Amino acid sequence: MKTEKVAQNTITALLATHQLRQTDCRLDILEVFLQKKFALSHSDLEKMFKESYDRVTMYRTLKSFLDKGLIHKVLDDEGTPKYALCSTTQCTTHTHAHEHVHFKCETCGQTSCLDEIKVPSLVLPKGFQLKEMNLLLQGICASCQINCEL
């Protein structure tokens, strides 16, 4: 399942930075997030670790990561929450400090964070309070585009 081994000290440091205890489940799930360059759903992780961890343990791990600012929710047109690593150290327990675009490939189905493309600022009408912003673009990712041209 694992294509490349992420340095254990990187994973340990991330957990420590976000004040999370080291558990086998947290170590394994964080390693997968570091390896993949696209968002993952609970069911994606469940398929990978069905022999090792039950679904509740994985759900609690994702919730802990989300609550501590280690991962963020990714908007997807399928209605199933997906998650990706936060790319900024400014994300905390109280706020996620990034409003970037997400891109879903129509060919492979992967949703990726495009951190370099910021969501444009919007002015809401009086009485509205912004909690979070999401922008999902759809098309064909670079990998699938290359495969189509071959």
Flag the least confident range among 1-5, 68-72, 116-120.
1-5
What is the CATH code for 8-149?
1.10.10.10
Collapsing DSSP states into helix, strand and coil, what is residue 86?
coil
Higher model confidence: residue 66 or residue 119? 66
116-138 pLDDT tens trace: 888 888 889 999 988 777 788 99
| Sequence-ordered strand ranges (E) for the chain | 40-41, 71-74, 82-85, 100-105, 111-118, 135-139
For 39, other C-beta atoms within 10 Å of its C-beta total: 24
Entry pTM: 0.78
In the predicted model, what is the mean pLDDT of the chain? Answer: 85
Q: With CA atoms as reference, report the closest residue to 64 among 30, 98, 36, 90.
A: 30
